[in-house]
């Protein structure tokens, strides 16, 4: 597939560019390995032209070993808004969503769990 053109903004950054994949991770473990993520932020990787398989491994290298490709964008963020010219498919926690705009934010201590 072709790259999609996105407008993304977070913190003080505005990005207008084409990307093949945009990946966000908020977990302490990925593929059975402990990541450097503290679970109170999102690891962001905006992958330029590649295939999905290669893009995922670029993301793993970033999260697990902090290796970055100069052509891609990597950052640790708390909130991001991503807009596309056309509707795009996203998978969020296993659920497929189709939209032109996504707003994602880490809400610390938002969910209260009561158990017996």
CB neighbours of 70 closer than 8 A, spacing ≥ 6? none
Q: What is the pLDDT of residue 20?
A: 81
The reported pLDDT for the residue numbered 13 is 92
Question: Is the CB of residue 8 less than 8 Å from the CB of residue 80?
Answer: yes
**Which pair of tokens denotes residue 48?**
């330029």
104-115 pLDDT, tens digit each: 998 888 888 888
Q: Measure the CA–CA gap between 47 and 20, rounded to whole angstroms.
A: 6
- Closest C-alpha to 33, from 7, 3, 8, 65: 65
Per-residue pLDDT of 55-112, as tens digits, reads 677 777 777 777 787 888 888 899 999 999 889 899 888 899 999 999 999 888 888 8
Look up the pTM and report it.
0.74
């Amino acid at each position: 597939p072709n790259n999609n053109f996105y407008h993304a903004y977070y913190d003080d950054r505005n990005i207008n560019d084409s990307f093949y994949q945009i990946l966000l991770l908020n977990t302490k473990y990925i593929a059975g390995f402990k990541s450097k993520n503290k679970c109170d932020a999102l690891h962001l990787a905006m992958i330029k032209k590649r295939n999905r398989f290669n893009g995922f491994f670029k993301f793993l290298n970033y999260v697990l070993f902090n290796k970055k490709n100069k052509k891609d964008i990597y950052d640790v963020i708390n909130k991001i808004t991503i807009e596309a010219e056309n509707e795009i498919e996203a998978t969020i926690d296993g659920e497929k969503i189709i939209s032109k705009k996504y707003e994602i934010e880490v809400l610390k201590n938002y969910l209260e769990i009561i158990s017996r």
